[in-house]
Structure 1
Amino acid sequence: MKHVVRIASMVLVLFMLAATGWSGQAATGDPGNFMPNQLIIGFRPGLSNARIKRIVTRMGGRILGRVNMPRVKARLVRMPASTQEEIDANIAAVKKTAAAYKGKILYVEKNGIERAFRSIGDSNILSQSADPQLADQWGYYDTGANTIPLPSRRAPTVAVVDTGVDYNHPDLRGRVIKGRDFVNGDRDPMDDNGHGTHCAGIIAANPANGFGISGISWKSKILAVKVIGSDGWGTTFDVVQGIIYAARKAGVKVISLSLGGEDSPTKKAAVQYAVVTRKRLIVAAAGNSDTNSTTSSYPAAYAIDFPGQVLAVAAHGKDHCRASFSNYGNWISISAPGVDILSTVPPNQIRNLAGTPSNSGYGEWSGTSMATPFVAGAAAVLWAEHPRWTNTMIGDQLIDHSTKSFDPLNRDGTCWPADGSTFGRLNLPAAMEAGDPATCGFGVVAGTAMDAESGEPLAGATVYTKSGRRITGRDVVPWWGQLTDPDNQSLLTEGPGLFTITASPGGSDQDLHVVKKGYARPVFHDIPVPADCTSVNVGVLPVPPNRGRYFVTITWTEPNPTVAAYDLLAYLPDSQYIGWLDWLGANAYYNLGETTAYPWARYFWDSYSTTSILRSQAESIRLVKTLPGQTAIFVNDWQNKAGSTLWSTSGIQVFIYKWSGGGLKLVQQFSPAPGSGEFWYIADISGNKLTIRDFLTDTRPGSGS
């Protein structure tokens, strides 16, 4: 009967606490470090649910939630309390009860508060528009995501356990799987804070959809799990439920946690269940407290207990120095971009600095919260490439092949603390390849794909290299791209429409295909693909919309118009010129032509009169119909005029498309023959007959002199 007396005394204590007049209402605003009226009690896993309920009832508590794991059955219990003393008394009473039940109660803890690790006061809201913003994603390039092969396999789902995700955001539409909302107790994880949507965009925003940004894992979907409310905080128990829920979902291999709080046996058990029992990889934010302490950095700090299975992520800026807010220390696994990171936010939910709703759908935020999804997305990309690898293999690969050797983090006490830490920054290409560059076996084919009619990047087009019947590499043309050294990630060049195909294997001449719906589908032959991790640049590749009889484009590489400047012209059979008639001197003028009526030809822009990077080094003419007689196609070097010898050094070349077999086909691509002259006579067109002339002359075609 001794244990009965102890139980009775426990019940008496709890009833006395209830008599203090505490209202029992849910806390509003920020509750501090824990929920005042809730405890988490861990029971031995062999106990039945009915037995657990009887024990809790005898203690005067009420079960609010439950999570069953292999090593513990955790129960969220409501216990009346309003002061710290009463909470401590509750915990002490439960511990006494635990002694009476001889191991049936494993532990008791407060239901702590978990916070989203976004740095406060650094939001820069950007307006949503149709203008793609990949060029503003410095973190995307910093991780090397722009140089890896375009994934051909579906990547695993990444669970974003956070404030929910705005699944209606246009850059996330079709990418989000609706999971549970543990804050409101429903199945609608809509984001009412913005934090989770921002993290989700970094991982899996729709790539190459013509606007917005691109996520790092092109083939992943996001499982949205809401455990944090609109104020940016949630409870330990809700986070535990979110981790367990995500770990049990089919298809999920990576769990991204841009949040944290104090150490908790329940939270640790949930992490252990996820990474040991369910074999998931947890990627967690190290925290924004500017400290090497792990006090408020769990679950990230569980990287100490589960190395390679839990990754603790610090944040760095564009200079690769520690972000001023980022936690640090030898318990960190890896660093990733975390300052001024552009990503998706829920339109109309985020308020600007004036406190009014913003119509934006994108924002630049900072925090280890932003660094974490870069690593989570990279893990998904790596897992897609190696689907049989374990979570530890994926985690170790990212850690071991982070940037340590050629550009290590500067631990001089100012950039990063000189604390003996050895972690590096995220380097996705190194993790993907992890080989000796001298024997890596692949090469990078870079180039610029241009809409030949508008002079804009051919964004969204697929480009791929092919050796025989085998596709060796793919990419999608961005609005703005960068070419970086595959070995050390140093920037080689950047610009509009710049694609980079990682072709593997290399070491042979291959064909380059450009494909976009509604456009011609040219094939560029005999591209010499290297095999030593170096790159070859094929220059600007103009691709016209798939209409018209002929389409002619010239491009050149000399950027200075005072050195070389060209006009593309067509001389029609009726003695009319289409193009810019520079030889008329002060009376020079455009003759743009017309495609829906006579003369059935159109000159699209003047390269000298534009601020566009691509249009300033290219010109195009379309022939919708051919008039009876002969049309001459030629180029005028109006800068150097008679006797010009700049043709061989300016990089100029011509691309001629001709309608055949139901579409425009690239039939000629060449540079001027050796010689000198003001004009490059390219070809004559007469009906369906194309006659290549290719010679330099000081006599203007059609002028007779």
Structure 2
Amino acid sequence: MFHGRRIKMFVVALMVWSTSALASDPMAVPGEFVVKLKDGVKIQQVFQQLGQVKELISKQSKAYLIKRPLVEKASFALQSLNSNPMVEYAEPNYIYSIEKLPNDPDLGKLWGLLNEGQSDGKNKGLPKVDIDAVRAWDIQTGSRKVVVAVIDTGVDYTLPDLKHNIWVNKAELNGKKGVDDDGNGFIDDIHGYDFANNDGDPKDDHGHGSHVSGTIGAEGDDGKGIVGVNWKVRIMGVKFLSASGSGTLANAVKAIDYATQMGVDIMSNSWGGGGYSKALEEAIQRANDAGILFVAAAGNSSSNNDKDPHYPSNYEVDNVLAVAAIDNRGMLAGFSSYGRTTVDVAAPGVRVYSTTPKGYKSWSGTSMATPHVSGVAALLMANEKFNSPKEIIDRIIFSSRPLAGLRNKVLSGGIVNAYYALTNQQAPADPNDPYQWDKEKKVVSTPHPYESNKTYTFTVTREGAKKIAVYFEKFDVEAGYDEVTFKDRSGKVIGVMTGNQDESFSPVAEGDTIVIELKTDNIINKYGFDISQVAFVTK
């Protein structure tokens, strides 16, 4: 969560797993084919020629589900299978989908899942700047076989939106109070464990962990409240952050090791801060060795993690997936840290609406972005098995939807996309990407540093342009307090930027003119900005 004038937030967000469906029309599961053998042919005679035999679909069909390498083109695989003289036929493992939205009444408030241009409570959104959840739900809505550990301030497992999606340790639930019934070394850990208070009750006493959990897996299609990325999932509460939102390295290591011991699939970590720790890195490596994905928030310091590492998101362990935050118009959030090589992907993180013990709240931060990615990973894992966390990370990066505001800011250059991840497709290019447009030199600068309590207004016009944007060679204003507002010729606000946004384009204005307005407060005067180019389209 990101709030408070000068308070550093050490709570951020964690994990992502993945599965997929084949990028074909109609859709099919990637690398999977239904193969029927000719009469009299035994599977033992041909299994080495066909690929991995996953199962006999049914005795009645006499067909087998075959897995082929994902690097192999579907058309080539089908040709190869159908040309085998012992095969009667082979066809893709097609996906059949229903077409419905969940009936949860507050879906319209969840712009990160479905952005139709609605306001987030302050700014009007840009349609389709979301994780594409609705199309993804036609393929997969989640599974309670997938367990996500929310390593945070705990989880309020009594909330109506969460209670049916909470992990349960049945041995402890049905055992004796005060006894370690399952012999795992932790007493009464029915829904997880509280390492901040060293007891078996991870109930949230802050709100942050419950907010994260709602984004990952608020129960869907139940006619009440909100819906998470997953309608069905199992959320394990692993609490090491106290009611104040802070925790220790020792308890962080304990929390990660507990979740690893209990065999979770994903760890969602909405926390960060402190320097490099070998102990923490080794705990994350143990999770990686167990095949667990570790999703981590990139941090809320508006800094470049390539130059100033942020932990745990900067650990170079194969299972770590680092997440930045964007607003509802596709721009990097002013508070969000970033990194062209150290931050993998971005997700909705500004005024995100979710569950807390005291009702529904809209909070901002990379904490709020991370569970969107953890949720997409859980959807993927419900749909397909991966061999390693790195395969999941590669899928999520590959399928992310490019956004101009994220170019050079995150490795993928885009926002996580649930639909393209499930279908194993590369998302199309951003049609409003000024990097692809014609450009001309244009020099505009604020004073360096700018003054307090000032409003600086600049107007840039390119005659004949149908769309226009400006390029900031350098952009550094006080995150969250000094803001640059962009307007078109009519005065309509088209976007806001704050924080450090070097080497990036402004939002796009329709027409030949863009107005840039910097408004400053009474303290902390930073560099300001330098514009070096104008980009435009004339057709």
Q: Are 2:251 and 1:238 aligned?
A: yes
Residues in 2 aligned to 1:221 and 1:420: alpha-carbon distance in whole angstroms: 29
CA 1:233 to 1:420, structure 2 compared with 1: closer, same or farther past 3 Å? closer
How far has the Cα of 1:131 moved from its partner? 7.7
CA 1:147 to 1:131, structure 2 compared with 1: closer, same or farther past 3 Å? closer
Residues in 1 aligned to 2:244 and 2:409: alpha-carbon distance in whole angstroms: 35
CA 1:237 to 1:114, structure 2 compared with 1: closer, same or farther past 3 Å? farther
How far has the Cα of 1:290 moved from its partner? 0.5
Kept after mapping to 2: 8 A contact 1:181/1:188: yes
How far has the Cα of 1:329 moved from its partner? 1.2
CA 1:158 to 1:291, structure 2 compared with 1: closer, same or farther past 3 Å? same
Residues in 2 aligned to 1:285 and 1:420: alpha-carbon distance in whole angstroms: 13
- Show the counterpart of 2:378: 380
In structure 2, which of residues 126, 131, 142 is the aligned counterpart of residue 143 of structure 1? 131
In structure 2, which of residues 210, 224, 239 is the aligned counterpart of residue 211 of structure 1? 224
Residues in 2 aligned to 1:341 and 1:489: alpha-carbon distance in whole angstroms: 23
- Tell me which of the two structures has the higher relative contact order, counting C-alpha pairs closer than 8 angstroms and 6 or more residues apart: 2
CA 1:132 to 1:403, structure 2 compared with 1: closer, same or farther past 3 Å? same
CA 1:219 to 1:321, structure 2 compared with 1: closer, same or farther past 3 Å? same
- Show the counterpart of 2:394: 396
In structure 2, which of residues 288, 291, 300 is the aligned counterpart of residue 279 of structure 1? 291
CA 1:221 to 1:131, structure 2 compared with 1: closer, same or farther past 3 Å? closer
Q: Are 2:345 and 1:340 aligned?
A: no
Residues in 1 aligned to 2:229 and 2:105: alpha-carbon distance in whole angstroms: 15
How far has the Cα of 1:137 moved from its partner? 0.3
- Show the counterpart of 1:325: 335
Kept after mapping to 1: 8 A contact 2:400/2:412: no
Kept after mapping to 1: 8 A contact 2:104/2:222: no
- Show the counterpart of 2:321: 311
How far has the Cα of 1:260 moved from its partner? 0.8
Helix, strand or coil for the counterpart of 1:188?
Answer: coil
Deviations 1:504-545 (A, max 9, x none): xxxxxxxxxxxxxxxxxxxxxxxxxxxxxxxxxxxxxxxxxx
Kept after mapping to 2: 8 A contact 1:155/1:383: no
TM-score, structure 2 length as denominator? 0.51
Kept after mapping to 1: 8 A contact 2:298/2:338: yes
How far has the Cα of 1:173 moved from its partner? 1.1
Helix, strand or coil for the counterpart of 2:414?
Answer: coil
Residues in 2 aligned to 1:135 and 1:176: alpha-carbon distance in whole angstroms: 24
Kept after mapping to 1: 8 A contact 2:112/2:352: yes
Give 2:385's aligned amino acid: P
- Show the counterpart of 1:169: 159
Residues in 2 aligned to 1:420 and 1:234: alpha-carbon distance in whole angstroms: 28
How far has the Cα of 1:314 moved from its partner? 0.2
5 Å-filtered alignment, 1:44-443, equals 115-117=10-12, 132-141=105-114, 142-148=130-136, 149-151=139-141, 153-177=143-167, 178-250=191-263, 252-261=264-273, 262-275=275-288, 277-293=289-305, 295=308, 297-302=310-315, 305-307=316-318, 309-330=319-340, 331-347=342-358, 361-404=359-402, 408-410=403-405, 422-435=412-425
How far has the Cα of 1:176 moved from its partner? 1.6
Residues in 1 aligned to 2:361 and 2:336: alpha-carbon distance in whole angstroms: 20
Helix, strand or coil for the counterpart of 1:166?
Answer: coil
Residues in 2 aligned to 1:152 and 1:268: alpha-carbon distance in whole angstroms: 30
Give 1:116's aligned amino acid: V
Give 2:107's aligned amino acid: L
- List gaps (5 residues or longer) in structure 2: 1-6, 14-102, 115-129, 168-190, 432-539
How far has the Cα of 1:154 moved from its partner? 4.2
Kept after mapping to 2: 8 A contact 1:165/1:189: yes
Residues in 1 aligned to 2:405 and 2:142: alpha-carbon distance in whole angstroms: 36
Kept after mapping to 2: 8 A contact 1:285/1:297: no
Give 1:167's aligned amino acid: Y
Residues in 2 aligned to 1:375 and 1:151: alpha-carbon distance in whole angstroms: 15
Residues in 2 aligned to 1:133 and 1:157: alpha-carbon distance in whole angstroms: 25
CA 1:421 to 1:334, structure 2 compared with 1: closer, same or farther past 3 Å? closer
How far has the Cα of 1:223 moved from its partner? 0.5
CA 1:383 to 1:133, structure 2 compared with 1: closer, same or farther past 3 Å? same
Deviations 1:653-691 (A, max 9, x none): xxxxxxxxxxxxxxxxxxxxxxxxxxxxxxxxxxxxxxx
How far has the Cα of 1:279 moved from its partner? 1.1
CA 1:207 to 1:433, structure 2 compared with 1: closer, same or farther past 3 Å? same
Kept after mapping to 1: 8 A contact 2:338/2:409: no
CA 1:419 to 1:256, structure 2 compared with 1: closer, same or farther past 3 Å? closer
CA 1:153 to 1:238, structure 2 compared with 1: closer, same or farther past 3 Å? closer
Kept after mapping to 1: 8 A contact 2:131/2:417: yes
Kept after mapping to 2: 8 A contact 1:114/1:234: no
Kept after mapping to 2: 8 A contact 1:144/1:489: no
CA 1:399 to 1:433, structure 2 compared with 1: closer, same or farther past 3 Å? same
**4+ aligned runs moved over 3 Å, structure 1:** 150-155, 293-296, 418-423, 486-490
Give 2:325's aligned amino acid: A
How far has the Cα of 1:327 moved from its partner? 0.1
CA 1:131 to 1:160, structure 2 compared with 1: closer, same or farther past 3 Å? closer
Helix, strand or coil for the counterpart of 1:220?
Answer: strand
The structure carrying a bigger strand percent of its residues is 1
Give 1:193's aligned amino acid: H
Residues in 2 aligned to 1:285 and 1:393: alpha-carbon distance in whole angstroms: 19
How far has the Cα of 1:383 moved from its partner? 1.0
How far has the Cα of 1:419 moved from its partner? 6.2
CA 1:297 to 1:384, structure 2 compared with 1: closer, same or farther past 3 Å? same
CA 1:316 to 1:435, structure 2 compared with 1: closer, same or farther past 3 Å? closer
Residues in 2 aligned to 1:489 and 1:211: alpha-carbon distance in whole angstroms: 35
Residues in 1 aligned to 2:309 and 2:206: alpha-carbon distance in whole angstroms: 21
Give 1:143's aligned amino acid: I
Helix, strand or coil for the counterpart of 2:314?
Answer: helix
Give 2:257's aligned amino acid: I
Count of aligned residue pairs for this structure pair: 294
- List gaps (5 residues or longer) in structure 1: 1-32, 34-112, 119-129, 348-360, 437-485, 491-705
How far has the Cα of 1:117 moved from its partner? 3.3
CA 1:184 to 1:401, structure 2 compared with 1: closer, same or farther past 3 Å? same
Helix, strand or coil for the counterpart of 1:400?
Answer: helix
Residues in 2 aligned to 1:273 and 1:205: alpha-carbon distance in whole angstroms: 29
Kept after mapping to 1: 8 A contact 2:345/2:411: no
Kept after mapping to 1: 8 A contact 2:12/2:296: no
How far has the Cα of 1:160 moved from its partner? 0.1
How far has the Cα of 1:435 moved from its partner? 4.0
How far has the Cα of 1:217 moved from its partner? 1.5
How far has the Cα of 1:370 moved from its partner? 0.3
Give 1:170's aligned amino acid: P
